[in-house]
Structure 1
């Protein structure tokens, strides 16, 4: 489950970066809202998968709830997936 969580975390983090740094500029600079609709929906679904995987991983490995909350907060910031990966590797 840990490897699954790590993969979901990285994919979700990548979708967030694509949304912020590719789709959003296309929307506002190129005046085309469709990339945000598509990438935004995909990112939303991936974020839900991330949250579920995080909950399952916290339960299975009996991580401290504070550590789980910290990982959740990191998922909300750009490049947070990199920090999450480092935190998990340091365990």
Structure 2
């Protein structure tokens, strides 16, 4: 999947899961009908949030974004629906390409992050398994910690 397609897909998924979370919060706190929406919507949103951060960082390395651009993509995940206008802006400015720079053996990766990205792109199956395991481990650890509002009690 091209950087442009991957980033756009995950940015959209992040916005969709914000909707699920907000519906769950509405059902819990406004109608007092159920907490199930927060459990399901919050869990899905948390997992997609982690995936969005990982994809943003991976795309940042590929596109060689300026620090401010990369940080903007990360901050956009925290603000409901902000990933969509950020993605549209990046696409409009030509900052999302249709190919991965480091897939070619003729391109010499510079630095640790590019070397890691080159390995990922040249070994996609192993990389996907590693990424899913990493995202699941992070997600599981956060589930172990419990809801964010209980972290500092």
Moved more, 59-68 or 76-85: 76-85
Structure 2: runs of 5 or more not aligned: 94-153
Regions of 4+ moved over 2 Å: none
Rg comparison, structure with higher value: 2
1:15 to 9, 14, 17: 17
Compute the TM-score of the two structures, normalised by the length of structure 1: 0.89
1:68 to 67, 70, 87: 70
Equivalent residues in 2 for 1:49-68, closer than 5 Å = 49-68=51-70
Displacement after TM superposition at 1:48 (Å): 0.5
Structure in which a larger fraction of residues adopt helix: 1
Q: Which residue is equivalent to 2:84?
A: 82
Q: Distance in 1 between matches of 2:4 and 2:43?
A: 25
Structure 1: runs of 5 or more not aligned: none
1:36 alignment partner, SS class: helix
Displacement after TM superposition at 1:46 (Å): 0.3
Displacement after TM superposition at 1:30 (Å): 3.0
1:33 aligned onto 2:41: no
Compute the TM-score of the two structures, normalised by the length of structure 2: 0.55
Count of residues in Structure 1 that have an aligned counterpart in Structure 2: 90
Higher relative contact order (CA 8 A, sep 6+): 1
- Residues 75 and 84, structure 1, Cα contact 8 Å, conserved in 2: no
Q: Distance in 1 between matches of 2:54 and 2:65?
A: 15
Q: Which residue is equivalent to 2:47?
A: 45
Q: Distance in 1 between matches of 2:7 and 2:91?
A: 12
